[in-house]
Structure 1
Amino acid sequence: MTPATNLSTGGAPEEKPCIVNDQMGPFTVVYILIFIISLPGNLVSVWAFIRSPRAKQKSASIYLINLLVADLLLLLALPFKIMKDLGVAPWNLMVFHCQASAVTIYISLYASIAFLAFIITDRYLQECHTVRSLRLQEVGFARLLSLVVWLLLLLIMVPNMALPIKQVTEQTYLSCSSLKEDISLHWHALTVFLCTALFLNASAATLISSTLAVKKLLRSRSDPKLWANARRVAASVAAVALAYVFSFVPYHVVRTPYTLAQTKLITDCETKKRLFLGKESTLLLSVLHLCFDPLIFFYLNAPFRHTIRKLFPCLGNHAIRDAKEEAAEEMMQPATSAQQEAAC
């Protein structure tokens, strides 16, 4: 049994290490369930996007495909976290998780935040056919914006993989922050604040787009045709925005104070434990979006939906309705566009 205190060579008592991650059993069970439930849906999504001949012809599809790539990265990294939290991973694998797969999880999460915000904004702009909005919806612009997001996240996150780590004694409950040198801890703190800034900007775009979609809906009450389109857009924007808020807002409420505990600005052990459990609970909500994203792909992308319905005939024969929906998304009638521009 490990004693509460040890004596150093000078005879002074050493403090008992503060273990914060010794209650991961319930979290691990939920992570396993999320992995099992979300894996088939995301694999089918990959197949459907590959089989959809028109999947890459719209800006919204580009953002959805990048969201799927982020989900696949998270699915690849999640088993390493599960094994570490279960305590069945060998020491080298635990260190690998702290250095690589844990960082991959956060790259995936913030990529998902960015692309969900783009999807919400693009969904609103689909019904606001101004010259400026049409330029923002060009496929080339969407690809460039997606590339910028990935490069920015890699620039911020990859140093966490490359910066030096300490050589520590093998232990059952490894805290990743205990491996970090001072420079690594400082960069980690900077990473958190930069990613929080990204989250705040994405949240602002989500809030503005959602508000404008509702405003447009209220202004369109006098025109039945515009009302139907505005209601459809407002419903889709609201659904994705609610998923965004549910998945990512609680995590960022506790992320900053938990980072202060990691950087030794908070030293009380009980406070550290509470912050860690809060961080893990809200991170679980963030990872839960893996189960919801295939539904977003299905309802927001007509070619994807048509491919899935051909794969699963039990969903019903909706080919005619899918074709009408796809045609409606592409149509831009001049008179209607002028009315919609006024509404926007």
Structure 2
Amino acid sequence: MMPPSSNVSSGGAEQGVKCIINDQMGPFTVLYILIFIISLPGILLSVWAFVRSPGAQRQSTGVYLVNLLAADLLLLLALPFKILKDLGVAPWSLMVFHCQASAVTIYISLYASIAFLAFIIIDRYLQDCHTLRLLRLQEVSFAQLLSLVVWLLLLLIMVPNMALPIQQVQEQQYLSCSSLKKDIGLHWHTMAVFLCTALFLNASIAVLISSGLALKRLLASRSNPKLWVDARRAVRSVTAVAVAYMLSFVPYHVVRTPYTLAQTKVITDCQTRRQLFLGKESTLLLSVLHLCFDPLLFFYLYTPFRQTVRKMLPCIRSQAVSDAEEQDASEMMQTPTSAQHKDVI
């Protein structure tokens, strides 16, 4: 077999020496298979529960969670193609299809998840901060419009990666997707990476601000028992989602930019490219891991979803009565306005 043209390093090695960067995918594919198997029942259960949930699209929280679930479904559908390619058992046409379509779908899903998790964190803060309830972010129509804008923006950025023409390369066992791209494809890919990184940075700033405001409100309410209960609930829900957000997506973006420079041949040293590729795959695996935890997020953050799941699963019905009693007691401590708008326990 001829040396893969995409795997030739022109720096730190002699011209023409092979530089294969993706020949250590065995452990990653095992972990991806485990993630797929573990997350599949939870995602399918979530779809069924949201279909059966009354008024899932009548609250801003429900709108953001439904869109997060849609992103999870896209990722779940694209993951088997990546697994087959990384295992080396896929036919050549399927490997090319992964590079052109399913790999791009993974990144659309990834950044959609980032955006909607950020919206959920902001919405969770506003849910418990009654003085800010007039902000449009919590209006259902505005939440739907914002969700539509996110999807259209991501499609505008990512779809050209699918549509731009590719070049013919020799069939090879270890296909690097960047080797299929012509110069215009590589330039667009680089621009897409930096645009999506900008989206991530803006979302992260919003997450940090919401978390900081929730913590500040908690500290300021220590002298008022009623405000302390509300503030503690806000900090607990916001912080839990924010920590999961940071652990899932921050490591990936630390590695993403230098890895993109390796893809576009700015970094040409073979050993550096291999290390960056392994770093990218490791942190991407961490990002994909959120598939396993999102069903728990749906369950604990959205009351109609939780009630539907309890009706579907008799083993947890017994908890419904005690939780309902706790909710009634909590609502009795709140003002009528806050109890009217509250949709999350």
Q: When the two structures are superposed, what TM-score results if normalisation uses the length of structure 1?
A: 0.91
1:17 deviates by 2.8
Query: Which residue of structure 2 lines up, in the alignment, with residue 72 of structure 1?
Result: 73
Offset, 1:14: 5.6
User: Unpaired runs of 5+ in structure 2?
Assistant: 5-13, 340-345
Q: How does 1:39-50 map to 2 (within 5 A)?
A: 39-50=40-51
2:311–2:317 CA contact under 8 A, matched in 1 = no
C-alpha distance 31-43 of structure 1, shift in aligned 2 (>3 A)? same
How much is the aligned-residue C-alpha RMSD, in angstroms?
A: 2.3
Are 2:313 and 1:300 aligned?
Answer: no
How far did 1:308 drift?
1.1
What are the within-5 Å matches in structure 2 for residues 40-189 of structure 1?
40-130=41-131, 133-189=134-190
Moved more, 102-111 or 121-130: 121-130
1:197 aligned residue: 198
Q: 2:335 aligns with which of 330, 333, 336?
A: 333
Please state whether the residue corresponding to 1:318 is helix, strand or coil. helix
Residue 287 of structure 1 is matched in structure 2 by: 288
Letter of the 2:141 counterpart: G
The one-letter code matched in structure 2 to 1:333 is: T
Task: Give SS of 1:178's match.
Answer: helix
Residue in structure 2 matched with residue 278 of structure 1 by the alignment: 279
Partner of residue 218, structure 1: 219
Residues 305-340 of structure 1 show CA distances to partners (whole Å, capped at 9, x for unaligned) of 1111122222242334555677778x9836879xxx
**SS of equivalent to 1:121:** helix
Partner Cα distance (1:335, 1:45) in 2: 30
* Partner SS state of residue 56, structure 2: coil
The SS at the match of 2:130 is coil
Deviation at 1:228, TM superposition (A): 1.2
Q: Cα gap change, 1:37/1:336 in structure 2, threshold over 3 Å: closer, same or farther?
A: closer
Taking a change above 3 Å as real, the CA distance of residues 147 and 134 of structure 1, as seen in their structure-2 partners, is same
Checking the alignment, whether the CA contact within 8 Å between 1:302 and 1:325 is kept in structure 2 is no
Secondary structure at the counterpart of residue 318 of structure 2: coil
User: Are residues 1:238 and 2:243 paired?
Assistant: no
3-state DSSP class of the match of 1:130? Answer: helix
- Report the CA distance between 1:131 and its aligned residue: 5.5
Of residues 276-285 and 213-222 in structure 1, the stretch that sits farther from structure 2 once superposed is 213-222
Q: Aligned pair in 2 of structure 1 residues 223, 33: CA closer, same or farther (>3 Å)?
A: same
1:172/1:215 CA distance change after superposition, 3 Å: same
Unaligned runs of 5+ in 1: 5-12, 338-344
Q: Tell me the alpha carbon deviations over residues 276-309 of structure 1, each in whole angstroms, 9 at most, x when there is no partner.
A: 0000000000000000100100000011111111
Q: Is the 8 A contact 2:115 2:203 kept in 1?
A: yes
- Whichever residue aligns with residue 19 of structure 2, its letter is C
Q: Contact (CA 8 Å) 1:217, 1:231: kept in 2 or not?
A: yes
- 1:18 — aligned with what? 19
SS at 2:128 equivalent? coil
Give the SS at the match of 1:105: helix
Deviations 1:176-217 (A, max 9, x none): 000000010000000000000000000000000000011111
Give the share of equivalent positions with the same residue, in percent: 76
CA distance, structure 2, for counterparts of residue 336 and residue 291 of structure 1:
32
Q: Quick one: distance in 2 between partners of 1:292 and 1:335? A: 32
Assess, with a 3 A threshold, how the Cα gap between structure 1 residues 188 and 324 changes in structure 2: closer, same or farther: farther
Q: State whether residues 120 and 206 of structure 1, in contact with CA within 8 Å, keep that contact through their aligned partners in structure 2.
A: yes
